[in-house]
Amino acid sequence: MAARAFGIRGVWAYAQERWYLRALIGAALVSAVLAVVIVWVEWGGTPTDKRVALTFLINLVAVIGFQVFMGNSGVPTFGHVGFIALGAYTAAVLTTPTERKTAPSLIPDAPSFLLNAEFGFIPSLLFGVLIAVLVAAVAGLVIVRLRGGSAAIATLALLLIIRTVIGNWEEITRGPKTWSGIPEFTTVWVALLVAVGAIFIARFFRESGVGLRLRATRTDELASSAVGVDISRARYASWVLSAGIAGAAGVLWAHYFLSLAPQDFFFTLTFLYIVMVIIGGPSVSGAVAGAGAITLVTEFVRRSETGGIHLGPLDFDQVFGLTPVVLGLLVLLTVIKRPEGILGRWELDELLSKATARFRARRSGQAPGTVAAVDTQSFTDKDEELGAVGTRQQERTSSSPRRGKDKRSHEGGKNE
């Protein structure tokens, strides 16, 4: 195959066979699209547009954090907003000017090493990620061993724990009170840089050995463990990595919105991000697409609502509540009709590959899907689902929750 490495087609085929090149090309592709959009907005957009774009980038980093875990493992996480909170508060505590911190209104009783800390952006980012990763490393030991829906519940419990601790640890976080006065480091280019970094990391993870093994468990837990995949270990890797990315999002958040409150990082935000992941689908490109799509929808709905004041971080207008309804309905629609999201399960470059292969096959008169049609594709490292019977059967809710032999026999409305 590599012998025919002349021309674009050959190079593409060559690259497809090597996972790191695939990851590189794929991430570069998506990042390029992203960069183009951002530049376009910066060049010709209104201040509101620019604000939306920056918020979008911060949300994107967060969603990629979700995706690295949820998209690859198939386990929903309700806890990642907690990591965002950890990143944000770490950034806040470590970078807010000392005089502000020592003032009686903020955190005068904090340990002095915290009071004296006045770091710049890079250390802030590093520490934010570090704290998130540490907490994730500990919690993950338990969480990744849970199977079925228990894991999701445990992530929910984690969110609650983090929320409760941050919301009550007055000495360090000001407890339930708003923290303000964070230095502004996040510009659109900083955010773009972090976002692109996240895209590359996420994509490399997805294509790597660990990522592949993890994705196998998403499709079929039993089968993958039968071929020796250690589910817990694979999940642990993605759990910790994703927490780090979420922490980075939190740092960006803190340095953009400049003030924090514990309730910012709770169910409302969780819901928003989960919607984005669901709509976009479990791939990295999907995360980008989902974040973008939902941002557009939210903006559209908001501009249709009359009046109301839109404060800072929350994308929902609490007075009207229309936006969440729309989003909620979108989620319901998506999970019912197209559970794999906008892009199916695929990355952008994978979709392109498939489209060109089909186009080429049709041109040469062969039916797509036959062996000849995949002439230029490699069989290595692709997780193509060949439609084996039974791969989608695991973990279904209901109608036959435990032992029903025939999962298709649950036609509720038949001639009732």
Partner 1 sequence: MPSILTQLKRWSSRRPPDGREPSGDALIHLEAITARYGSTVAVRDVDLTVKPGEVVAILGANGAGKTSTLKAIVGMIDVSGGRIVYAGEDITGLSPERIVERGISLTPEGREVFGSLTTRENLRVGAGINGQREYPQRLEEALTLFPVLQDKLDVFGGLLSGGEQQQLAIARSLMSDPELLLLDEPSLGLAPIVVERVFELIEQLRARGTTLILAEQNVERALRVADRAYVFSTGRVELEGESAELRETGDVERAFLGLGVENGS
Partner 2 sequence: MTEVAQYVINWLALGSIYALLALGIAIVFSLLGLINFAHGELVTVGGYTMVVLAIWDVPWALIIPLSIAAAAVAAVLMERVAYRPLRGAHVATTLLGSLALSVVIQNLFLMFAGARPEAIPFPSWTQDTFEVAGIVIRTLDVLTFATTVVLLSAVLLFLRRSARGIALRAAAENFDVTRLMGVRANALIRGAFALSGLLAGVAAFFFLATAALVSPTTGFVPLLKGFIAAVIGGLGSLSGAVLGGFVLAGLEVSFQATLPEGASPFIDAFVFGIVIIVLFIRPHGLRAERSALVERA
Residues of this chain that bind partner 1 (CB under 8 A): 387, 389, 403, 405-406, 408-409, 411, 413-416
28 binds, among partner 2, partner 1, none (CB under 5 to 8 A by kind): none
Whose Cβ is closer to partner 1: residue 365's or residue 413's? 413
Q: How far is the CB of 339 from partner 1 (least distance, A)?
A: 16
192 binds partner 2 (CB under 8 A): no
Q: Are 233 and 291 in contact (CB under 8 A)?
A: no
415 binds, among partner 2, partner 1, none (CB under 5 to 8 A by kind): partner 1
Q: What does the alpha-carbon distance between residue 333 and residue 338 come to, in Å, rounded to a whole number?
A: 8
Q: Which helix (H) or strand (E) holds 216?
A: helix 209-219
Beta-carbon contacts of residue 189 (< 8 Å; ≥ 6 apart): none
Whose Cβ is closer to partner 1: residue 307's or residue 411's? 411
Maximum alpha-carbon separation in the chain: 78
Strand ranges inside 69-224, DSSP E: 179-180
Beta-carbon contacts of residue 127 (< 8 Å; ≥ 6 apart): 90, 91, 94, 119
248 binds partner 2 (CB under 8 A): no
- Indicate which single residue of 335, 355, 372, 388 sits in contact with partner 2 (rule: CB under 8 A): 335
Q: What does the alpha-carbon distance between residue 47 and residue 41 come to, in Å, rounded to a whole number?
A: 9
Whose Cβ is closer to partner 1: residue 356's or residue 393's? 393
401 binds partner 2 (CB under 8 A): yes
Whose Cβ is closer to partner 2: residue 182's or residue 275's? 275
158 binds, among partner 1, partner 2, none (CB under 5 to 8 A by kind): partner 2
Q: How far is the CB of 413 from partner 1 (least distance, A)?
A: 7
Q: How far is the CB of 226 from partner 2 (least distance, A)?
A: 17
- Indicate which single residue of 35, 142, 296, 355 sits in contact with partner 2 (rule: CB under 8 A): 142
Structure tokens at 254: 């803190």
> CA angle, corner 265, sides to 67 and 292, nearest 5?
45
| Residue in this structure with the two tokens 């919301």, named with its chain if needed | 167
307 binds partner 2 (CB under 8 A): no
The neighbour count for residue 313, using CB atoms within 10 Å, is 18
Q: How far is the CB of 281 from partner 2 (least distance, A)?
A: 13
DSSP state of 2: G
339 binds, among partner 2, partner 1, none (CB under 5 to 8 A by kind): partner 2
Site string for partner 2, 74-103 (x = CB under 8 A): xxx---------------------------
Q: What does the alpha-carbon distance between residue 199 and residue 206 come to, in Å, rounded to a whole number?
A: 10
389 binds, among partner 2, partner 1, none (CB under 5 to 8 A by kind): partner 1
User: 385: closest CA among 360, 354, 356?
Assistant: 354
Q: What does the alpha-carbon distance between residue 241 and residue 201 come to, in Å, rounded to a whole number?
A: 9
Whose Cβ is closer to partner 1: residue 47's or residue 387's? 387
412 binds partner 2 (CB under 8 A): yes
Structure tokens at 70: 């949820």
401 binds, among partner 2, partner 1, none (CB under 5 to 8 A by kind): partner 2
233 binds, among partner 2, partner 1, none (CB under 5 to 8 A by kind): none
Q: What does the alpha-carbon distance between residue 91 and residue 120 come to, in Å, rounded to a whole number?
A: 9
149 binds partner 2 (CB under 8 A): yes
Q: How far is the CB of 170 from partner 2 (least distance, A)?
A: 9
User: 56: closest CA among 271, 289, 254?
Assistant: 289
Q: How far is the CB of 373 from partner 2 (least distance, A)?
A: 30
Total residues at interface with partner 2 (CB under 8 A): 64
Residue by residue, what is the 3-state secondary structure of 10-49?
HHHHHHHHCHHHHHHHHHHHHHHHHHHHHHHHHHHCCHHH
Residue 169 C-beta-side C-alpha neighbours within 13 Å: 14
Q: What does the alpha-carbon distance between residue 77 and residue 64 come to, in Å, rounded to a whole number?
A: 13
Residues at the interface with partner 2 (CB under 8 A): 74-76, 139, 142-143, 145-150, 152-154, 157-158, 160-161, 164-165, 167-168, 267, 271, 274-275, 278, 318-325, 327-329, 331-332, 335-336, 339, 392, 395-410, 412-413, 416
